[in-house]
């Protein structure tokens, strides 16, 4: 049995060989090798990505009943392509030091009183990651402090672990990932006009993750980049409907919410996946406390892209004069439509609040 370089699968098929599909491949190889009408040597044609996925999947499924032919296939896949996962990150120790340092830095911003200096640093960090999610050089102190260095140019990686982060160069290796896909960047670029808005000379935000030896660390990606991406996209969509929301300038309430309209309405944009309904419900009490503290009467919690949830929800509490309206999506990529009902509700609340005396 041997492995050839010849590609016989389409790329989409290769990426779709997961646990469910693997059993068919196992059965097929077993039947091919055990048929009576066969030669003394059997050549299994595969490609690098296919062989690598086979090995990685088998490695995580030790309880599977694998036939001897398939075990030989996976063994030769590793030998033939010399898959070395340990050398992916240049220094695992340094990578984890950066992870811990970045978490501490972000928490120091969020959980301490904002100052003019910390607001400036936060905005600079936010703008930087939007422009450079990856880089080929450590030309900035931000990259030195908050980006992971890899031994080869990449544009995505998988990871797992809290106290000690493990990194994988295969997106099937671990359950979490830093990538344009998990940030939903490519899907957001399908919002009409947003790609040109990102690429404008004034902003120069990345519209894809280019190959680079330096990539955002996990906490920078999860806690700053994804949120910033949602904020920019959400504000852009509302601009198309002449809803001009502004950044919150009052340093005392900075980052309580993302934007405001006048003195009575605030907006909190989310770049969440399918857990929007559960996550937004879990945060209701926290959002109410922030709204009461900052004096906003209406808070919109808005997810950018459609992920299966249809209905808006309005949460009002007689004990607290705060109305929270959760909007599960503003744009449906598949149907290429905006959530006109949600836009109408935002305009309705703006009109109502414009009649309320300014606090």
Q: Would you state the pLDDT for residue 274?
A: 61
Final residue of a domain: which of 236, 256, 283? 236
Span of 77-86, 209-218, 251-260 with lowest mean pLDDT: 77-86
Q: Which residue has the higher pLDDT, 348 or 8?
A: 348
- For residues 41 and 100, membership in a common domain is answered with no
Residue closest to 227 by CA, chosen among 264, 255, 189: 255
Predicted TM-score (pTM) above 0.85? no
Final residue of a domain: which of 236, 262, 293? 236
3-state SS assignment for residue 134: strand
- For residues 16 and 45, membership in a common domain is answered with yes
d(CA 325, CA 224): 24
Q: Would you state the pLDDT for residue 30?
A: 76
- For residues 267 and 337, membership in a common domain is answered with yes
Question: Which residues are 313's β-sheet partners?
Answer: 326
Q: Report yes or no: 12 and 6 within 8 Å, Cβ to Cβ.
A: no
Q: Which residue has the higher pLDDT, 47 or 179?
A: 179
Q: Is residue 151 part of a domain?
A: yes
204 token code pair: 């120069």
- For residues 143 and 96, membership in a common domain is answered with yes
Residue closest to 173 by CA, chosen among 81, 273, 60, 26: 60
Residue closest to 131 by CA, chosen among 55, 185, 50, 66: 185
pLDDT above 50 (res 203): yes
Residue closest to 281 by CA, chosen among 304, 241, 311, 254: 311
Q: How far apart are the first and last CA of the chain?
A: 78
The total number of structural domains in the chain stands at 3
pLDDT tens for residues 275-324?
Answer: 555 566 667 888 888 888 888 999 999 999 998 877 889 888 777 788 99
- For residues 217 and 99, membership in a common domain is answered with yes
Q: Would you state the pLDDT for residue 1?
A: 42
Domain that holds residue 336: 244-354
Q: Would you state the pLDDT for residue 355?
A: 60
d(CA 267, CA 245): 8
Q: Would you state the pLDDT for residue 7?
A: 36
* Greatest C-alpha distance within the chain: 88
Mean pLDDT of the chain: 83
Q: Is residue 155 part of a domain?
A: yes
- For residues 113 and 180, membership in a common domain is answered with yes
Grade residue 61 by pLDDT with cuts at 50, 70 and 90. Answer: low
Q: Is residue 76 part of a domain?
A: yes
Q: Is residue 163 part of a domain?
A: yes
- For residues 115 and 224, membership in a common domain is answered with yes
- For residues 230 and 102, membership in a common domain is answered with yes
Residue closest to 338 by CA, chosen among 233, 212, 211, 231: 233
Q: Is residue 57 part of a domain?
A: yes
Q: Is residue 86 part of a domain?
A: no
- For residues 159 and 270, membership in a common domain is answered with no
- For residues 6 and 65, membership in a common domain is answered with yes
Looking up tokens 């050089």, which residue turns up? Answer: 137
Q: Is residue 87 part of a domain?
A: no
- For residues 173 and 268, membership in a common domain is answered with no
Q: Report yes or no: 183 and 271 within 8 Å, Cβ to Cβ.
A: yes
Q: Is residue 359 part of a domain?
A: no
What does the DSSP assignment read for 88-108? SBS-HHHHHHHHHHHHHHHHH
Q: Report yes or no: 177 and 323 within 8 Å, Cβ to Cβ.
A: no
Q: Report yes or no: 156 and 178 within 8 Å, Cβ to Cβ.
A: yes
- For residues 149 and 201, membership in a common domain is answered with yes
Final residue of a domain: which of 236, 258, 292? 236
């Amino acid at each position: 049995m041997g492995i050839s370089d010849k590609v016989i699968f389409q790329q989409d098929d290769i990426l779709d060989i997961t646990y469910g599909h693997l059993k068919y491949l196992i059965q097929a190889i077993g039947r091919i090798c055990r048929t009576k009408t066969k030669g003394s040597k059997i050549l299994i044609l595969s490609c690098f990505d296919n062989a690598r996925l086979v090995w990685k999947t088998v490695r995580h499924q030790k309880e599977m009943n694998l036939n001897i032919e398939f075990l030989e296939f996976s063994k030769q896949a590793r030998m033939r392509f010399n898959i070395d996962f340990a050398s992916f990150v240049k220094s695992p120790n340094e990578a984890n030091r950066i992870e811990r340092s970045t978490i501490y830095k972000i928490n120091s911003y969020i959980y301490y009183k904002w100052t003019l200096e910390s607001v400036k640093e936060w905005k600079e960090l936010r703008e930087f990651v939007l422009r450079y999610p990856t880089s080929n050089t450590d030309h900035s102190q931000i990259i030195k402090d908050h980006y992971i260095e890899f031994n080869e140019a990449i544009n995505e990686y998988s990871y797992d672990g809290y106290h000690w982060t493990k990194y994988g160069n295969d997106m099937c290796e671990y359950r979490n990932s830093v990538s344009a896909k998990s940030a939903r960047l490519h899907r957001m670029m399908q919002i009409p006009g947003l790609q040109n808005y990102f690429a404008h000379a004034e902003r120069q935000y990345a519209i894809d993750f280019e190959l680079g030896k330096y990539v955002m660390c996990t906490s920078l990606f999860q806690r700053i980049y994804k949120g910033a991406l949602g904020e920019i996209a959400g504000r852009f969509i509302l601009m198309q409907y002449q809803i001009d929301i502004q950044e919150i300038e009052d340093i005392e309430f900075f980052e309580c919410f993302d934007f405001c309209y006048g003195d009575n309405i605030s907006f909190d944009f989310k770049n969440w996946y399918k857990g929007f309904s559960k996550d937004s419900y879990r945060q209701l009490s926290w959002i109410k406390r922030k709204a009461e503290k900052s004096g906003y009467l209406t808070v919109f919690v808005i997810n950018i892209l459609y992920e299966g949830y249809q209905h808006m929800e309005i949460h009002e509490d007689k004990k607290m004069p705060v109305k929270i309206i959760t909007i599960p999506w503003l744009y449906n990529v598949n149907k290429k439509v905006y959530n006109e009902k949600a836009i109408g509700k935002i305009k309705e609340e703006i009109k109502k609040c414009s009649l309320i005396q300014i606090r």
